[in-house]
A and B are shown apart, each in its own frame.
Chain A
Amino acid sequence: MHELSLARSIMDIIEEYDLRHHFKKVNSLKLSFGKLSSVEPSALEFAFEVLSKGTKAEGASLEFEVLPVILYCTVCGENVSAEHYQATCPLCEGGEVCLAGGTEELKLLELDVD
Chain B
Amino acid sequence: MKIDVVKNVLDANDRIAEENKALFEKSGTWVINLMSSPGAGKTTLVEKTIEALKDKYSIAVIEGDIEDTCDAERVARHGVPVVQINTGGACHIDGNMVREALPNFDLQGIDLLIVENVGNLVCPAEFRIGENIKAMILSTPEGADKPAKYPLMFQESAVMIINKTDLIPYVDFDMEQAKRSALGCNRDLVIFEVSCKTSEGLTGWFQWLEDQIESYKKQDP
Interface SS of chain A: mixed
Q: Decide yes or no whether A67 CB sits under 8 A from chain B.
A: no
Please, how many angstroms separate the alpha-carbon atoms of A23 and B1 in the complex? 9
Contacts A1-B122, A87-B147, A95-B180; A111 near B3 (Cβ below 8 A): yes
Contacts of B185 in A (CB 8 A): 85, 99
User: Which interface class (under 10, 10 to 19, 20 to 34, 35 or more) fits A?
Assistant: 35 or more
Contacts A38-B122, A87-B180; A110 near B147 (Cβ below 8 A): no
Please, how many angstroms separate the alpha-carbon atoms of A113 and B122 in the complex? 33
Contacts A38-B123, A87-B177, A99-B184; A13 near B5 (Cβ below 8 A): yes
Please, how many angstroms separate the alpha-carbon atoms of A38 and B152 in the complex? 9
Q: Decide yes or no whether A86 CB sits under 8 A from chain B.
A: yes
Indicate if the CB atoms of A103 and B155 lie closer than 8 Å. Answer: yes
Please, how many angstroms separate the alpha-carbon atoms of A31 and B8 in the complex? 10
Pick from B13, B94, B126, B184: contact of A97, CB below 8 A. B184
Indicate if the CB atoms of B9 and A105 lie closer than 8 Å. Answer: yes
For residue A98, give the distance in angstroms from its CB to the closest CB of chain B: 6
Indicate if the CB atoms of B123 and A85 lie closer than 8 Å. Answer: no
Contacts of A31 in B (CB 8 A): 9
